[in-house]
Structure 1
Amino acid sequence: MVLGISDYFPHPMLFCYLNKFWKPISDMSTKYVDICVFKRRFYLVDNTGRTVTIESDSSVQLVDNPFIPGDRKLLVESEGALLLVNIYENLMTFNVFRLDEKNKKWVKLMSLRNRVLFFVNGCSFSASASDLCVAKGNCVIFIDDAYNICTYFYNYCLDRSQPLSVSEYFEYLSLFSAPEWIGKS
């Protein structure tokens, strides 16, 4: 199965290989802005934070219906947990929430510990700072070519919760550089 959302269709579309056609999930009352596969289920979130799952029979199950202000919502799986990143675009600040699966609600996180969350041109993933060979985790890297390749880092330490430029953490810049062998002639 494949699930897709588009600016051109009012509802998510589900593709089942056996049927070989796209089926609109029309019993959804809002436009969803991000999808994440978590524990073999499709999770969708809208701009208010309302989160649903779509089951294999195309039924829709409400996960949480909070009102979380902000301009943009993004989902990512990190260390076996589903995270919701809320972006205030004018301030370039971020809030991160973890889904409490048992109580079906989003819980605000104050720290990502050693994790680095990446949101790059419609893709998202999580990695540990040590796996990336960078000194510090606890940040969100957001790159979107809709904003002329603006890169923002947000540090979740309580003493510094603001966007940081790439030059302040130069080691992260090497994550996006071409390998040395490309520059050699």
Structure 2
Amino acid sequence: MANWSELPEEIIDLVAKRLPPYPNEFAQFSCVCKSWNSVLKKQNSNIIRCAPWLMLARSKNDKQFKKGSIRSFYCHSTKRLFNYYLPQAKRTRCWGTPYGWLLTFDLDRNIHLLHPLSRVQISLPSQTTFEHQWKGPCTPEVYCQTFVTRFALASNPSIHESGQCPLVMAIYGDICRLAVASPGDKAWTSVECSTSNYEDIIFFNGHFYAISCDGILRIIEVNTRQPKAKDFASPPDNIYVCSTFYLVEFSGDLCMVERAFKGIDADTPSYDYHNETTYFVVHKFDFYSKTWTEVEDLGDHALFLGNNTSFAVSTSDYPEFRGNCIYFTDDHADFYEKKFCDMGIYDIKHDMVESFYFDDHQLSKFSRPVFFMPTL
């Protein structure tokens, strides 16, 4: 049969029942088409959480990829790189989440929540509705690459069957302001604050928090007509202000991760100046004293940072990943002009970075690698 989606549901059901009992096997099976995904959902009423996948750019060497409708994914469980037909992500920049959803921003300046395995899309207000727009002409490609730097969700869109969709926060614009919106809103609402230059945002214990470029933690009041950001805590001691900062929930605590990097002048003509990560430092926040304490050991946990909402997993649940390590992708504010991608694994105990590389799948100015947690 030429079209796998036309297989009778009874046959698909029989095949699915013979899959190995591993979440990533179910996830890859569901990637075939909507009908296969639908069968698996009927078999598994609960949301299946899989190990994090790395979503890569389209290949430059395969003709079918030039159409822009196929993306490559790397599954750490199976150590396989596979291709997936995903037209909803065509010519979009994507951000990952731990809920199985992506945030996409396309050349028409539309923004969506996208569940890649089911291909369900939920519309958010367009980029044109942000209050503070760039002045002067700008190409659609540059808007996609640089206008929005972060997204964070207040909850998992998959659990909102009653139509109540989650609140989304974004960091956007030339000086990295904050804005919020929900599906169905006509526009993004700016967050009132005395400063800007935010680097990361997270929804933690019922509140949005944001970290500024100088390490100041702010809490965002969103249940008001005019959302506001208020100073909540000073930076940790001895941070390097030229670092990049991330917020992540780890073992029930709010943590800030400092990512330090240096500029490298490459020796070969094919590699020019680029940023390269040198180390990470993890700080845990104490809500009683409003102070930060350095975390020297993540135990059996691994963190995932980069072009995604930062998240942690237990390596007891996902043994294919290394404990006490940080997995990171390249989210520097450059344009991938040269053949280098700052992506790898940082071993905290040995203070060592191990780079990983997927040939030209990862080298794209327009479509950067992202981690996300796939769900059916």
**Rounded Cα–Cα distance in structure 1 between residues aligned with 2:194 and 2:184:** 23
**Rounded Cα–Cα distance in structure 1 between residues aligned with 2:185 and 2:346:** 44
TM-score normalised by structure 1 residue count = 0.77
Aligned equivalent of 2:351: 161
Cα distance per residue 1:33-75 (max 9 Å; x no partner): 1111111210100121111010122232322122621420011
The structure with more radius of gyration: 2
Aligned equivalent of 1:84: 256
User: Partner of 2:173: helix, strand, or coil?
Assistant: coil
- Out of 105, 123, 136, the position equivalent to 2:291 is 105
Following superposition of structure 1 onto structure 2, how do residues 99-138 of structure 1 map, counting pairs within 5 Å?
A: 99-134=285-320, 136-138=322-324
- Would you say the 8 A contact 1:43–1:53 is kept in 2? yes
Cα distance per residue 1:153-176 (max 9 Å; x no partner): 22222xx11213449xxxxxxxx9
Aligned equivalent of 2:173: 7
Q: Which runs of 5+ in 1 are unaligned?
A: 168-175, 177-185
- Out of 49, 62, 70, the position equivalent to 2:215 is 49
**Rounded Cα–Cα distance in structure 2 between residues aligned with 1:33 and 1:78:** 19
Identity of matched residues, %: 27
Aligned equivalent of 1:60: 229
Cα distance per residue 1:1-20 (max 9 Å; x no partner): 33211134652112367975
Letter in 1 for 2:246: L
User: Partner of 1:123: helix, strand, or coil?
Assistant: coil
Letter in 2 for 1:26: E
Aligned equivalent of 1:74: 246
Q: Decide which structure has greater strand share.
A: 1
Letter in 1 for 2:316: S
Paired positions, count: 166
**What is the aligned-residue RMSD (CA, Å)?**
2.6
- Would you say the 8 A contact 2:302–2:321 is kept in 1? no
- Would you say the 8 A contact 2:175–2:197 is kept in 1? no
- Would you say the 8 A contact 2:200–2:210 is kept in 1? yes
Cα distance per residue 1:73-111 (max 9 Å; x no partner): 011112211111101111521000111111112211111
- Would you say the 8 A contact 2:245–2:259 is kept in 1? yes
Change in 2 beyond 3 A, CA 1:10/1:137? closer
- Would you say the 8 A contact 1:63–1:105 is kept in 2? no
TM-score normalised by structure 2 residue count = 0.40
User: Partner of 2:343: helix, strand, or coil?
Assistant: strand
**Rounded Cα–Cα distance in structure 2 between residues aligned with 1:136 and 1:73:** 22
**Rounded Cα–Cα distance in structure 2 between residues aligned with 1:81 and 1:72:** 20
Aligned equivalent of 2:106: none
Q: Which runs of 5+ in 2 are unaligned?
A: 1-166, 263-276, 358-370, 372-376
- Would you say the 8 A contact 1:11–1:26 is kept in 2? no
Letter in 2 for 1:15: A
More displaced, 8-17 or 90-99? Answer: 8-17
